Amino acid sequence: MAQRQLWEAGILRFATDLHVHSILSDGELHPFDVVRLAGAAGVQTIAIADHESVGAFLLENGQITIVAREAGVDLIPAIEIDAAVRGHEIHVLGHGVDPSSPLLLEHCRRVQALRRTRTEEELAQLNERLNGVLAAEEVFVPPRETFMRPNLILPLLDRGIFSSYAAAARWFREHIRPTTTLVRPTVPEAIALIHAAGGRAAIAHPAYGMVEGWLNLESDLSAFAAAGLDAVETDYPYAVCSPHMFDTAGEAAAIDRIRTMAKAIGLAETVGSDGHRQAELRARWAIER
């Protein structure tokens, strides 16, 4: 049932959510709690797609499959790989991957090590500038595997140190200078990695690249499809996630353009909330699409 739901086009509401995060990367909730929350909200199918991590599916010897069954949720093993195109970061979702894939696990271990070192640098610089505001124990929390800038920003937002995520991100860009470089695969390399793990690859939230001007939807999606891309995330709550970039009309126009292109070149469509925190997930799963 889950695989059939995953690859049929025309998924139009958040009874299916193929883009959810947990505490294993930049989310808030333990993966088991994400699944239970989905079941309580009436979500039928979810994919936990943490950045550079499939750890959610390996915790306690794969106990999450039992949790999902008890919650009445079809669970898709997934990952979100941060790739690069012309110097810009683009995210590639891998759905239906084998969490025990040696190649995928090696990729995750390599990137996680770099991200941890980079986050340690950023935390030290942050505390130097803001008088020791954030303890390492608040960032390097178990069972988190992939450490990212949101792990630093979100606690600061909770304390009211910044007025918004955008303001915090701007401050970090201006003041924090880590020396560790993150090496990102190309999109074709990310697709190949996902396929080697038995999964199918989808470009996540492409309208961001469109609005920022570095992604040419038509030519880039065609090139990615030639490299084996299987799908594109067409249904995504841009206006909710990024109201500073999209109003509801802009979101609808972007989704229509992406969906038209997906159909023209034969890509499947996926739907994702990109939810990270409990309040976000509750709100986004209540939206009729």
For 221-226, what is the mean pLDDT? 98
Q: Which domain holds residue 228?
A: 2-101+200-285
Q: Is the pLDDT of residue 4 over 80?
A: no
Cα–Cα dist 231/256, whole Å: 15
User: Tell me, what's the pLDDT at 289?
Assistant: 45
Kindly report the number of other CB atoms within 10 A of residue 189's CB atom. 16
Question: What does the pLDDT look like over 22-33, one tens digit per residue?
Answer: 999 999 999 999
CATH code of the domain containing 75: 3.20.20.140
Helix (H, G, I), strand (E, B) or coil at 94: strand
What's the structural domain count of the chain? 1
For 9-38, what is the mean pLDDT? 86
Inter-residue contact 234 to 258 (CB < 8 Å): yes
Looking at the domain assignment, is residue 140 inside a domain? no
Looking at the domain assignment, is residue 243 inside a domain? yes
User: Tell me, what's the pLDDT at 287?
Assistant: 64
Sign, CA dihedral 35-40-41-43, equals positive
Question: What does the pLDDT look like over 135-172, one tens digit per residue?
Answer: 999 999 999 999 999 999 999 999 999 999 989 999 99
Q: Annotate 123-153 with b (16+ C-beta within 10 A) or e (fewer).
A: beebeeeeeeebeeeebeeeebbbbbbbbbb
117's CB contacts (< 8 A; 6+ apart) are: 180
Cα–Cα dist 29/23, whole Å: 5
Looking at the domain assignment, is residue 128 inside a domain? no
Looking at the domain assignment, is residue 161 inside a domain? no
Structure tokens of 194? 């996902």
User: Tell me, what's the pLDDT at 13?
Assistant: 53
For 204-228, what is the mean pLDDT? 98
Question: What does the pLDDT look like over 50-102, one tens digit per residue?
Answer: 999 999 999 999 999 999 999 999 999 999 999 999 999 999 999 999 999 99
As a whole-number percent, the residues of the chain with pLDDT over 90 amount to 90
Cα–Cα dist 34/277, whole Å: 9
User: Tell me, what's the pLDDT at 14?
Assistant: 61
Question: What does the pLDDT look like over 39-49, one tens digit per residue?
Answer: 999 999 999 99
Cα–Cα dist 48/272, whole Å: 10
The C-alpha angle 249, 27, 80, rounded to 5 degrees, equals: 75
Instruction: Indicate the pLDDT class of residue 283, thresholds 50, 70 and 90.
Output: confident
As a whole-number percent, the residues of the chain with pLDDT over 70 amount to 94
Q: Is the pLDDT of residue 280 over 50?
A: yes
Residues in the chain: 289
R_g of the chain, CA atoms, integer Å = 18
Mean pLDDT, the chain, integer: 93
Structure tokens of 86? 């012309």
Q: Which residue has the tokens 């059939």?
A: 4
Cα–Cα dist 287/191, whole Å: 30
Instruction: Indicate the pLDDT class of residue 15, thresholds 50, 70 and 90.
Output: confident
User: Tell me, what's the pLDDT at 226?
Assistant: 98
Looking at the domain assignment, is residue 34 inside a domain? yes
For 167-187, what is the mean pLDDT? 96
Looking at the domain assignment, is residue 170 inside a domain? no
Looking at the domain assignment, is residue 206 inside a domain? yes
State the pTM of this model.
0.93
Secondary structure element (H or E) that encloses residue 153, with its range: helix 149-158
User: Tell me, what's the pLDDT at 137?
Assistant: 96
Looking at the domain assignment, is residue 252 inside a domain? yes
Find the Cα–Cα–Cα–Cα dihedral 208, 211, 216, 217, rounded to 10°.
60
User: Tell me, what's the pLDDT at 284?
Assistant: 87
Distance spanning both ends of the chain, measured CA to CA: 21
Cα–Cα dist 77/31, whole Å: 12
Cα–Cα dist 21/223, whole Å: 28
Which of 260, 253, 287, 261 minimizes the C-alpha distance to 272?
287
